[in-house]
Amino acid sequence: MDNRISFSSDYTKGAHPKILERLMQTNFEQKDGYGTDEHCRNAADRIRQLCGCPGADVFFLTGGTQANQTIIDILLKPYQGVVAAVTGHVAAHEAGAIEFSGHKVLTLPGTVKPEESGDFVYSDRIGKISAGALKEFIANFYQDENHEHMVFPGAVYISHPTEYGTLYSKKELEEISSVCKEYSIPLFLDGARLGYGLASRRTDLTLKDIAELTDVFYIGGTKVGAMFGEAVVFPKGVPTEHPIPVIKQHGALLAKGWLLGLQFETLFTDDLYFKISRNAIEMAELLRNGLIEKGYRLFIDSPTNQQFTIIENDRLKTLAEHVRYGFWEKADSDRTVIRLATDWATTREDVETLMGYL
């Protein structure tokens, strides 16, 4: 058994105790399958209310990669691809799942050059795409006289928070949404860590804003208190007559669908989802301040639960004996960038223990 304290990711624990209690309470109840039960209906209604979209279609899928693959397949025609930042999860960390389903990921560079600002190497712009770069990419595609022989940009993918823990502002999302509308291209927001984005003290985006400005997004459960599962929301309705067969083809439809619905029903009772998300942010702020006080250089100005720091390789070997962390990249031959992630269940004691090893 690995007894090291873990900050390697935000899905290393099981589920919130209230979810486990509800699972036990309902364990011997008999439910209809594939998301047709009352728990899924109740959870969907609560999500519609929070989003201010009474007519939204809501589906509960098994996990993040399945959600990304399924949503993109629903949005795209066979000859279309999805536009994403080169650092986006669908481009970098899903083992080619989108390409495996028959669609290409069309990557934009994003902001990836070192900016060397104060305590940070990168500002809070890294990991995001800009409306300007997006418009230029699409315009250049249609200006190419050979574009009929190319993969068409058929949808736009962004994540909030990004893979670097950074956030889109409301203005940035409005601008991207405007470009998508100009070219009649749907906008998809990956919300695997959406709770932590909404809880950040530096965000001006609300759930209703996201529902208004996107064509589809999902509310992450796997990383935010659920045992597993994501809630996919099409605010304006799903753009296909038969979504269930597509979801099933991608292995994202759970036979015991009530296990997903019950979890989201619980998370959206008494603001539990938002309360536990705030805990992750508060613990990340404690961690961030501790790193700066100890003289560590932060790699990214992240306002969410993922904190990235640069550490000497010799010190990292010692740290690895006591702490599980996430490898991010090599800073140079002598230093490594690591990710330290807090989550819904991280305690002050956890952070203080970590700081003791640092």
Number of domains in the chain: 2
Does 247 have pLDDT greater than 90? yes
Rounded to an integer, the average pLDDT of 163-181 is 97
* CATH number of residue 213's parent domain: 3.40.640.10
Rounded Cα gap, residues 86 and 140, in angstroms: 18
How much is the pTM? 0.96
Whether the CA torsion 70, 163, 302, 110 is positive or negative: it is: negative
pLDDT band per the 50, 70, 90 thresholds, residue 118: low
Same domain for 313 and 166, yes or no, is no
Q: Which residues pair with 85 in a beta bridge?
A: 108
Does 47 have pLDDT greater than 70? yes
Does 137 have pLDDT greater than 60? yes
Query: Domain end: 270, 287, 310, which one?
Result: 270
Nearest of 320, 357, 332 to residue 8 by alpha carbon: 320
Same domain for 241 and 262, yes or no, is yes
pLDDT band per the 50, 70, 90 thresholds, residue 1: confident
Give the 3-state secondary structure of residue 96.
Answer: coil
Same domain for 56 and 142, yes or no, is yes
CB 158 within 8 A of CB 68: no
Of how many residues is the chain composed? 358
Does 25 have pLDDT greater than 60? yes
Task: Read off the pLDDT of residues 322-338 as tens digits, 9 standing for 90 and up.
Answer: 999 999 999 899 999 99
Same domain for 229 and 169, yes or no, is yes
Alpha-helix runs per DSSP H in 122-223: 131-143, 170-182, 194-199, 207-213
Task: Read off the pLDDT of residues 65-78 as tens digits, 9 standing for 90 and up.
Answer: 999 999 999 999 99
Rounded Cα gap, residues 186 and 131, in angstroms: 14
Structure tokens belonging to residue 39: 């728990």
Task: Read off the pLDDT of residues 290-315 as tens digits, 9 standing for 90 and up.
Answer: 999 999 999 999 999 999 999 999 99
Query: Domain end: 205, 240, 270, which one?
Result: 270
Amino acid at the residue 11: Y
Same domain for 159 and 185, yes or no, is yes
- On average, the pLDDT of the chain sits at 95
Same domain for 141 and 211, yes or no, is yes
Residues 6+ apart with CB under 8 A from 171: none
| Residue 149 DSSP one-character state | G
Q: Which residues pair with 230 in a beta bridge?
A: 61, 220
pLDDT at 43: 98
Same domain for 265 and 304, yes or no, is no
Task: Read off the pLDDT of residues 180-229 as tens digits, 9 standing for 90 and up.
Answer: 999 999 999 999 999 999 999 999 999 999 999 999 999 999 999 999 99
Rounded Cα gap, residues 261 and 245, in angstroms: 19
Same domain for 151 and 102, yes or no, is yes
Name the percent of the chain lying above pLDDT 70: 97
Query: Domain end: 270, 298, 314, which one?
Result: 270
Same domain for 138 and 247, yes or no, is yes
Domain region containing 349: 5-12+273-357
pLDDT at 3: 87
Same domain for 154 and 47, yes or no, is yes
Q: Answer with the residue of higher pLDDT: 113 or 27.
A: 27
pLDDT band per the 50, 70, 90 thresholds, residue 152: very high
Rounded to an integer, the average pLDDT of 5-28 is 97
pLDDT at 115: 57
